[in-house]
Chains A and B, each alone.
Chain A
Amino acid sequence: MKSLLSEIIEELTDDQQEIAEAIEITKTEDEIVNDLVAQNIVSFDVKDDENDQKV
């Protein structure tokens, strides 16, 4: 079955498409969120500033 998400992908902006493409709808919500993190679309951690680290 074609997912509903794949049917609206053309109507989305580039940013929204990037999100939609990162979502595997058969996965659980937690897995999808992990995928979004893995693809650097969202992040719930912060890296220390690189310049600062050099210091």
Chain B
Amino acid sequence: MMKMIKKFKTINNVFSYSFFEWDIINPVNGNNPNNPIDIFKKNNILFAENGNGKTNLISVLKVLNGVDSIELEKHWDYPAENQNVVLELDNELSFNSENWSEINGALKDKFVIFDKYFTEKYVHSVGLDPHNTAQRKQERGKHIIYLGNFTEYNQEVNKINKVKIKVNEKNNAFWAAEQEKISSILPDWLNIDGIDNERNIIEDTDTSNLSDKQETLENQKNELEKVKKAIKNQSEIEKLKNLDNIKTVFDFKIKELNKDGKETIYELDPVELFNFTVSKGVQRTLSKINNKKSFIKTGLSLVDDTTEDCPFCEQKIKNGELLQIVKDYQSIFNQTFLDEEEKVKTRLQKYKTVLSSLRDLQPVSSNVPNLQEAQKYVGIDISIPNCSLDEEDKKVIELEIQRVIDKEKNILNPLTGSTFDQIKSIVDRANKLKKNYNEAVNEINQKIDELKKIASEGKLDERKMEIENKIRELEKSILYINYKKDFLRYFNAKNQNAKNEKVVENLEVIYQKLKEKIVEKFNEFAEDYFKLIKEYIKAISPSMEIFDVLGLGTYSRTGREPAQCGFEVQYNKKDCTNNLSEGERQVIALAFFFAQLKKETDKNKIIILDDPITSFDAGKRKSTAEVIKSETLEFDQLFVFTCDPLFREFCLKEIPSRNFYYIFITKKSSSIHYVPKNRETIYQSFEEDFNNIININGSNENVVIYGQKLRFCLETKIKEDYFGYSQDNLSNMIKQVAGKGKQKFENLIDNKETILNLYNYCNTSGLAHYPKDGSTSWNELNGKIQSYLNLNL
């Protein structure tokens, strides 16, 4: 990693550096060629008078530091020439304008620079008064934020906020998608809020009874249509007829009147009826008189006391006996046989009636149209059951009827065997059929009655609504069955959404706490920072101790000025900030800068100070040099630029292990000259050059260089050597003047005309910076230099 700059190897066509080559200007290799003594050391002091290229050099360093606003302009005389800057660094990385961007990144923020811009940016408008521009206040805030790692803190706070926003956005997208999914399932009549309270119902939904529900739904829909029809045709409802029951009774118990005229119950017994007969003798007799029944009935009219031949057996019978026999037979017929036979016949007849009605059992035909009519207006899902006997049964009944007929024909002829048990079973079946039929009819009638009642009470609309509600509930149930999985997914998503929203809330709390924390930390930092500033103010200018310097810092993440930092200077508790002298402001500016160095956590920096002592008295210049020495020790490298000879001297004395450089225009270009330690009084160095002038080429460039050297020697030597200009206090100045001796001052006074003429020549005859034409000549300059040397100042 690069720590130090070794040299500006080349600066071509940048500001006043038209063509500077370090190795040409500074061919100083020292004793060890591998360790040249002219290269920059850790500490470096560069002296230059105004206009010689000091600030231009700082501009190059600023560009390297990443200041975009500075443009490295071309030399005025070479607008068409290319620019080139080559830096030699200690990590053997050579930097030139071709790989500018590459190296620019490597050196970005490598420098911490104090110059008039630092003062302007961070300090000059010191207070937080309304006259400060927002930009200035912001710059000061940025400064503090940068030093206290608030940039990182700020990024951290912003990151939490962005995480919160991201979680929220993702959750919103997720939740919207889930809601859309479920909404696409929901019918118009059911909104998404409607299902939120139905979670338990949906979870408990039994998915196995879907077909039942669907069937019920269809029925209800049909029912709804009928009710609608009923509403339209209310007058028809009253006309609906009830269905008739089957009233036929299959009963073997019959009522008979006995001889006394009393009613008795006789249970038909076909076996007994079919077996009805008389004894064999009577039967034979009856057979014989079969065709004479009327005779028997009317026998007495055919027989009298004189009849000798028996009308039945045709035998001779004694007179008078036959009549008695006939009377006896007649008695049997009348009283027993005929009565019994009649009773059997009646019973057979009744039995046959029962059998016939059994055989003919069938639904009531009028029920069908009546039901159809009712079904137009009311849902009757009951069908009229079949009540006819099957053919087998009918056959059995037919046979039995035939047997009855046979018996009736031959009443005395007994019939053996019986199907009565079968008949009884059939009767049981028939009764069941009849019962079922009648129950269905009753049920249908109940529905018809109910409809009539609702219609008569004007409640058909109510009924309609009732059915519609039922339909809605059924549709809902079916929906829940069909989409149970989707609904359960939706409920899970809803839970997840709530959980995510809670996380967003918590992130917001964390974010707010971080915002509070960053302000708290900023205040702590600002307090500490201003304490340091006060210490440095005291170190640079003890006289300013009478002032109370109060730090002011505010931090806000909401405004466009995230941090403001300024201070108020008070004297006797009164604000005197705006009454400070320029020097006092400069002290405060430097104190800010040194506090910055103290708080700088990255010590791998190069410190640049550009004339930090503007408007300072000698005492402050000295204390500034001392603070520079103590506060830059830990950093990689130090460059102090100055045009002030006194400050230069303080720095040379105070700052250890330093190299000294003199920047002035040489050969039409600003140049950095290494000054060996033994020649640090520059005018001595120049006088040596004057003594060797015979070896110097008399070019135009050298006219300028040597002209400048002559002017410098005249001015600086007299100021410093005679009058102690570079001394830090009056006592030392007096010592310097006294040490020079009277003789020297007499010499100065005696030669004042010559000295002023020479000085005038340097300043007004075109030698100040550039040769204008050929009117000045190397020989003329040589004469002037010789005249200077002869003065023996």
The interface of chain A, by Cβ under 8 A from chain B, is: 1, 3-5, 7-8, 11-13, 15-16, 19-20, 23, 25, 29-30, 32-33, 36, 41-49, 52, 55
| Other 18 A-B pairs with CB < 8 A, given A32-B159, A52-B488 | A4-B153, A4-B156, A5-B514, A8-B510, A16-B506, A19-B510, A29-B162, A29-B166, A36-B163, A36-B503, A42-B170, A43-B499, A43-B500, A44-B170, A44-B500, A46-B489, A49-B485, A52-B484
CB proximity of A1 to chain B, nearest CB, Å = 6
The interface of chain B, by Cβ under 8 A from chain A, is: 149, 152-153, 156-157, 159-160, 162-163, 166-167, 170-171, 173-174, 178, 207, 484-485, 488-489, 491-493, 496, 499-500, 502-503, 506-507, 509-510, 513-514, 517-518, 521
| Beta-carbon contact of A1 and B152 below 8 Å | yes
Complex CA–CA separation, A11 to B517 (angstroms): 11
Q: Which residues of A sit under 8 angstroms from B491, Cβ to Cβ?
A: 49
| Beta-carbon contact of A4 and B521 below 8 Å | yes
Complex CA–CA separation, A46 to B157 (angstroms): 30
| Beta-carbon contact of A1 and B159 below 8 Å | no
Q: Which residues of B sit under 8 angstroms from A32, Cβ to Cβ?
A: 159, 163
| Beta-carbon contact of A49 and B492 below 8 Å | yes
Complex CA–CA separation, A45 to B506 (angstroms): 20
With CB as the reference atom, state the residue of chain A lying closest to B485: A52
With CB as the reference atom, state the residue of chain A lying closest to B178: A46
Q: Which residues of B sit under 8 angstroms from A15, Cβ to Cβ?
A: 502, 506
Known: A5-B514, A25-B156. A46 touches B163 (CB 8 A): no
Q: Which residues of B sit under 8 angstroms from A8, Cβ to Cβ?
A: 510, 513-514, 517
Q: Which residues of A sit under 8 angstroms from B513, Cβ to Cβ?
A: 8, 11-12
| Beta-carbon contact of A48 and B488 below 8 Å | yes
Top 5 nearest A-B pairs (CB, nearest first) are A49-B488, A44-B174, A46-B493, A29-B162, A16-B506
Q: Which residues of A sit under 8 angstroms from B162, Cβ to Cβ?
A: 29
With CB as the reference atom, state the residue of chain B lying closest to A15: B506
Q: Which residues of A sit under 8 angstroms from B149, Cβ to Cβ?
A: 1
Other-chain contact of A42, B171, B207, B509, B510 (Cβ < 8 Å): B171
With CB as the reference atom, state the residue of chain B lying closest to A27: B159
Name which of A1, A5, A23, A48 has the most chain B CB atoms within 10 A of its CB: A5
Complex CA–CA separation, A4 to B500 (angstroms): 24
| Beta-carbon contact of A46 and B510 below 8 Å | no
Complex CA–CA separation, A44 to B170 (angstroms): 7
Q: Which residues of A sit under 8 angstroms from B492, Cβ to Cβ?
A: 46-49
CB proximity of B690 to chain A, nearest CB, Å = 59
27 contacts between A and B (CB under 8 A): A4-B157, A5-B514, A7-B517, A8-B513, A8-B514, A12-B509, A12-B513, A13-B506, A15-B502, A19-B510, A23-B160, A25-B159, A29-B159, A32-B159, A33-B170, A36-B167, A41-B503, A43-B496, A44-B170, A45-B174, A46-B489, A46-B493, A48-B488, A49-B488, A49-B491, A52-B485, A52-B488
Other-chain contact of A5, B160, B178, B493, B500 (Cβ < 8 Å): B160
Complex CA–CA separation, A52 to B485 (angstroms): 6
CB proximity of A11 to chain B, nearest CB, Å = 6
Complex CA–CA separation, A8 to B517 (angstroms): 7
Other-chain contact of B510, A12, A36, A52 (Cβ < 8 Å): A12
With CB as the reference atom, state the residue of chain A lying closest to B513: A8
Q: Which residues of B sit under 8 angstroms from A44, Cβ to Cβ?
A: 170-171, 173-174, 500
With CB as the reference atom, state the residue of chain B lying closest to A16: B506
Q: Which residues of A sit under 8 angstroms from B159, Cβ to Cβ?
A: 25, 29, 32
| Beta-carbon contact of A42 and B499 below 8 Å | yes
Q: Which residues of A sit under 8 angstroms from B506, Cβ to Cβ?
A: 13, 15-16, 19
| Beta-carbon contact of B156 and A42 below 8 Å | no
Q: Which residues of A sit under 8 angstroms from B493, Cβ to Cβ?
A: 46
Complex CA–CA separation, A44 to B167 (angstroms): 9
Name which of B160, B163, B484, B521 has the most chain A CB atoms within 10 A of its CB: B163
Q: Which residues of A sit under 8 angstroms from B503, Cβ to Cβ?
A: 19, 36, 41-42
Q: Which residues of B sit under 8 angstroms from A20, Cβ to Cβ?
A: 510
Q: Which residues of A sit under 8 angstroms from B166, Cβ to Cβ?
A: 29-30, 33
Q: Which residues of B sit under 8 angstroms from A3, Cβ to Cβ?
A: 156
Other-chain contact of A55, B160, B207, B499, B518 (Cβ < 8 Å): B207
Known: A4-B521, A23-B160. A48 touches B510 (CB 8 A): no
Other-chain contact of B500, A12, A16, A42, A52 (Cβ < 8 Å): A42
| Beta-carbon contact of B514 and A4 below 8 Å | yes
| Beta-carbon contact of B510 and A16 below 8 Å | yes
Complex CA–CA separation, A19 to B160 (angstroms): 11
| Beta-carbon contact of B518 and A4 below 8 Å | yes
With CB as the reference atom, state the residue of chain A lying closest to B171: A44
Complex CA–CA separation, A32 to B502 (angstroms): 17
| Beta-carbon contact of B485 and A48 below 8 Å | yes
Name which of A20, A30, A46 has the most chain B CB atoms within 10 A of its CB: A46
Q: Which residues of B sit under 8 angstroms from A47, Cβ to Cβ?
A: 492
With CB as the reference atom, state the residue of chain A lying closest to B174: A44
Complex CA–CA separation, A49 to B493 (angstroms): 10
Q: Which residues of A sit under 8 angstroms from B160, Cβ to Cβ?
A: 5, 23
Complex CA–CA separation, A19 to B503 (angstroms): 8
CB proximity of A32 to chain B, nearest CB, Å = 5
With CB as the reference atom, state the residue of chain A lying closest to B520: A7
Complex CA–CA separation, A32 to B178 (angstroms): 24
CB proximity of A2 to chain B, nearest CB, Å = 10
Complex CA–CA separation, A13 to B157 (angstroms): 19
With CB as the reference atom, state the residue of chain B lying closest to A20: B510
Q: Which residues of B sit under 8 angstroms from A41, Cβ to Cβ?
A: 503
Complex CA–CA separation, A52 to B514 (angstroms): 44
CB proximity of B272 to chain A, nearest CB, Å = 70
Complex CA–CA separation, A32 to B161 (angstroms): 12
Q: Which residues of A sit under 8 angstroms from B521, Cβ to Cβ?
A: 4, 7
Q: Which residues of B sit under 8 angstroms from A1, Cβ to Cβ?
A: 149, 152
